[in-house]
Structure 1
């Protein structure tokens, strides 16, 4: 039988990043937190927390933190039938989402859920092709992902697609693409990418021009920085159409090839935990996605 006070201490250290901040969160002393963590490690015979700046969880520690989060969610559902003295505080839901979804539609779903249910959210930003890895590791309870591959113990639902356009400022296009969009001009023109895993610009170059993308690139881990750099004439990149539309209408941005937009299919993958908070969050995500994304071919559960 696990000692849940000690398990809560481990989870707080991992979430807050230090024993001192964990102590503040739990309302105890740092010494008490240290004793609880060390005591649980000794009883289990494994290291759960890697001491550092910040503190991180080992594989075993991550698994126990995930278990702690799930137990908290299930206990929160008991609050209506328990006395005030034994009710459990509602834990934050840990979700991984890509930056473009957060900037365009996910915030609306998250706000609607949090306002209606009183739960807080703890969001991790990750490339849409890699968010599912966060779920497999137990770091989060649900993800927005472009990967429809089933995750054991989870349900995947098609949400729709986020549509992108290749955009740049008129001055940038005049300077770098005066003779058209082709392999040589793409090799010279600076472009933007979110991180080393961002292949969206390369996908567009291949589909629109049949060429690989080898030009110089800015690395900008921010959806709004992408837009700001494009407006400033620093490079071209793929932008969610919903964000770029006002600037395209005003002429501040132009599309490199207006008929060559790209759709990125998105999915909601959530652990199969019978917790009302996860069901409510899933409902909010599906409702907002249906109203804002390009309709998916189907919306049924995939796994």
Structure 2
């Protein structure tokens, strides 16, 4: 079967933007042109790649073609840079590298790394936020090219490199600790004290409670689904929560937070998974991320 660049480009744009109309605006063509290119691609492949819902739903066959479309885009950009290396010209459209990352890495150490790269290269990042235990699902689907994940088992077609460990400890505001934990982080206190949870996938607090013999369903819980706001909520006394050292060290030194249980820390190992693709830009990103993580994480 033959794959045509414009068909792949239309397909990727439709998946990323969710509708043919939005994809058409991105590529400056008509929605009809997007529809015709994707229909021709499906006829060439002999499979249905998209369900025409709103937003568009990608099929299992479509996930395979999506990975191909993203790879072709990135390799084409690499080739254009090499071809124009001598005359200082760069491609008019920057390379797009989609990455999935856990919220705490995004809020602490990762963004400065990506900003440094973007300041020097013709590149833009399409960041997806996902819990580190679930991020490899997006790699399998072809939605992203790389992931910061807690999964050391490589997704098919990917390589894995260790980044280090994010250390989390049960933290609270001093006044909150005085009110709820007068006798320390006992099972009785943990059963009654409100807890702050990131979202329904966040198991850090529940895992700590289980280790202390407490049913996670017992304490009242607040859901605060943003890393910086989560730390703010803990600092304001909304509840206690498991905070990474990168967020808690400074306020702990200032006396704005306290550690509830010095033995209750947990290390979450993080890994960088990326497509096994020989791309200069992707390797540049990988090297920078791995180097920064190893100098920042435990």
Asked if these proteins are the same fold (TM beyond 0.5), I'd say: yes
Aligned to 1:12: 13
Asked if structure 1 preserves the Cα contact closer than 8 Å seen for 2:191 and 2:214, the reply is no
Secondary structure, in 3 states, of the residue corresponding to 2:95?
Answer: coil
Supply the distance in 2 between the matched residues of 1:87 and 1:224 (Cα, whole angstroms).
36
Count how many residue pairs are aligned between Structure 1 and Structure 2. Answer: 293
Supply the distance in 1 between the matched residues of 2:180 and 2:53 (Cα, whole angstroms).
47
Asked if structure 2 preserves the Cα contact closer than 8 Å seen for 1:163 and 1:240, the reply is yes
**Partner of residue 213 from structure 1, selected from 212, 216, 219:** 216
Secondary structure, in 3 states, of the residue corresponding to 1:77?
Answer: helix
Aligned to 1:92: 96
Taking a change above 3 Å as real, the CA distance of residues 18 and 288 of structure 1, as seen in their structure-2 partners, is same
Asked if structure 2 preserves the Cα contact closer than 8 Å seen for 1:108 and 1:288, the reply is no
Aligned to 1:129: 133
Aligned to 1:150: 154
1:242 to partner: Cα distance: 1.6
Aligned to 1:32: 33
Aligned to 1:283: 287
- The TM-score with structure 2 as length reference comes to 0.91
Give unpaired runs (5+ residues) of structure 1: 295-303
Supply the distance in 1 between the matched residues of 2:82 and 2:201 (Cα, whole angstroms).
47
Supply the distance in 1 between the matched residues of 2:129 and 2:268 (Cα, whole angstroms).
17
Give unpaired runs (5+ residues) of structure 2: none
Q: Work out whether 1:183 is the aligned partner of 2:187.
A: yes
Supply the distance in 2 between the matched residues of 1:135 and 1:293 (Cα, whole angstroms).
23
Supply the distance in 2 between the matched residues of 1:133 and 1:268 (Cα, whole angstroms).
14
Asked if structure 2 preserves the Cα contact closer than 8 Å seen for 1:76 and 1:88, the reply is no
Taking a change above 3 Å as real, the CA distance of residues 287 and 81 of structure 1, as seen in their structure-2 partners, is closer
Q: 1:130-170 deviations in whole A, cap 9, x for unaligned?
A: 11222122221111111111222221111111122211112
Secondary structure, in 3 states, of the residue corresponding to 2:153?
Answer: coil
Supply the distance in 2 between the matched residues of 1:110 and 1:197 (Cα, whole angstroms).
26
Supply the distance in 1 between the matched residues of 2:56 and 2:154 (Cα, whole angstroms).
31
Aligned to 1:109: 113
Asked if structure 2 preserves the Cα contact closer than 8 Å seen for 1:91 and 1:119, the reply is yes
Supply the distance in 1 between the matched residues of 2:97 and 2:109 (Cα, whole angstroms).
18
Q: 1:218-244 deviations in whole A, cap 9, x for unaligned?
A: 222211121121122111101111212
Supply the distance in 2 between the matched residues of 1:70 and 1:45 (Cα, whole angstroms).
21
Taking a change above 3 Å as real, the CA distance of residues 80 and 104 of structure 1, as seen in their structure-2 partners, is closer
Taking a change above 3 Å as real, the CA distance of residues 71 and 29 of structure 1, as seen in their structure-2 partners, is same
Supply the distance in 2 between the matched residues of 1:256 and 1:81 (Cα, whole angstroms).
55
Asked if structure 2 preserves the Cα contact closer than 8 Å seen for 1:192 and 1:235, the reply is yes
